[in-house]
């Protein structure tokens, strides 16, 4: 089939007011060509989050599809969370690992953007739902470009000048994980400062880059920073700025970490399996380590 024919079949249906669209006309088992990647990326930039439904793929199939969009992270910042055979896939799972509770059974329980505690924060993330609980296990996403644009001009000019210090210790639930593995993850990821507002390298959109994993703003005290961090997170996560995804098995949800943040909800029976696999596109280098 010609590129034009193939791409004319790709259609987006909005899922939420603030962000999110379902994409039809793509079979993720086929590696997309350059024109298809460009067509999908344009929709991804427009909607910030896109969903491919009803796809059933093996782990290598996710890798094959995701890697068409750019270099994938090997998740070396969080070695304990990787797929045992495919380092480019992160497991977000409550399945036991080697007879022990999974280190990622409570991943993503507060608002964050992926790998913001590293100097290579994620560009896009692509999360595949292999197994979901009968009820719940939803994920919420907030549009951080809209959050920025809906601040007053005065506050925008203030946050434009701030650097947010990210601390992996503020990852919700990290204290419940294996102490040795957590110590290693903390050693690999010391606190790092990023601009509190970032410009998307491809779309040019400016977006707030502040989440619940920010401990303070560089040059300000924790006490001074806290109310502003709290305000910005509350502002960004107002219901009208959020899309809540109710997973179906075979969903591939792709979000842009440069213009969104997300939170995985513990709104399900934890004895029910939830097994997800994530490919992470490497983003632009950013930030500096706080010594």
Closest to ligand SIN by CB, 7 or 116: 116
The least CB distance from residue 114 to ligand SIN, in Å, is: 6
The least CB distance from residue 72 to ligand SIN, in Å, is: 14
73 three-class SS: coil
Q: Cβ(61)–Cβ(29) under 8 Å?
A: yes
How far is residue 137's CA from residue 145's CA, in Å, rounded to a whole number?
26
Nearest to 10 by CA among 43, 33, 34, 59: 43
Nearest to 41 by CA among 284, 281, 210, 249: 281
Closest to ligand SIN by CB, 92 or 242: 92
DSSP assignment, residue 114? T
How far is residue 87's CA from residue 118's CA, in Å, rounded to a whole number?
17
Closest to ligand SIN by CB, 130 or 163: 130
The least CB distance from residue 212 to ligand SIN, in Å, is: 12
Chain position whose Cβ is nearest to ligand SIN: 108
How far is residue 120's CA from residue 38's CA, in Å, rounded to a whole number?
23
The least CB distance from residue 278 to ligand SIN, in Å, is: 5
Closest to ligand SIN by CB, 124 or 195: 124
Closest to ligand SIN by CB, 22 or 109: 109
Closest to ligand SIN by CB, 41 or 114: 114
Q: Cβ(44)–Cβ(124) under 8 Å?
A: yes
Closest to ligand SIN by CB, 206 or 278: 278
The least CB distance from residue 85 to ligand SIN, in Å, is: 20
How far is residue 188's CA from residue 29's CA, in Å, rounded to a whole number?
34
Nearest to 226 by CA among 164, 175, 147, 141: 164
First to last CA, the chain: 55
Cα Rg, the chain, nearest whole Å: 18
The least CB distance from residue 104 to ligand SIN, in Å, is: 8
113, two tokens: 């953007």
Closest to ligand SIN by CB, 163 or 167: 167
Residues making contact with ligand SIN (CB under 6 A) = 92, 107-108, 114, 125, 127, 139, 262, 264, 276, 278
How far is residue 105's CA from residue 178's CA, in Å, rounded to a whole number?
12
The least CB distance from residue 44 to ligand SIN, in Å, is: 17
The least CB distance from residue 254 to ligand SIN, in Å, is: 12
């Amino acid at each position: 089939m010609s590129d034009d024919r193939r791409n004319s079949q790709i259609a987006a249906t909005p899922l939420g007011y603030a962000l999110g669209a379902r994409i039809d006309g793509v079979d993720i088992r086929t590696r997309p060509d350059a024109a298809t990647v460009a067509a999908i990326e344009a929709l991804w930039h427009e909607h910030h989050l896109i969903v491919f439904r009803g796809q059933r793929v093996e782990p290598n199939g996710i890798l094959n599809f995701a890697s068409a969009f750019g270099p994938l992270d090997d998740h070396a910042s969080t070695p304990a969370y990787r797929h045992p055979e495919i380092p480019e896939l992160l497991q977000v799972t409550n399945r036991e690992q080697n007879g022990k509770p999974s280190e990622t059974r409570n991943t993503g329980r507060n608002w964050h953007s992926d790998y913001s505690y590293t100097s290579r924060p994620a560009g896009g993330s692509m999360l595949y739902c292999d197994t979901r609980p009968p009820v719940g296990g939803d994920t919420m996403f907030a549009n951080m470009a809209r959050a920025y644009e809906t601040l007053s001009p005065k506050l925008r000019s203030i946050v434009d000048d701030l650097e947010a210090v990210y601390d992996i210790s503020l990852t919700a639930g990290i204290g419940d994980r294996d102490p040795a593995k957590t110590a290693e993850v903390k050693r690999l990821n010391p606190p790092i400062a990023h601009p509190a507002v970032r410009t998307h390298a491809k779309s040019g959109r400016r977006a707030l880059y502040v989440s619940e994993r920010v401990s303070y703003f560089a040059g300000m005290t924790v006490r001074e920073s806290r109310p502003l961090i709290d305000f910005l997170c509350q502002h960004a996560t107002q219901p009208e700025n959020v899309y809540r995804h109710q997973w179906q098995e075979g969903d591939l949800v792709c979000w842009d970490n440069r213009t969104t943040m997300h939170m995985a909800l513990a709104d399900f029976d934890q004895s029910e399996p939830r097994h997800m696999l994530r490919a992470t596109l490497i983003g632009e280098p950013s930030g500096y380590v706080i010594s």
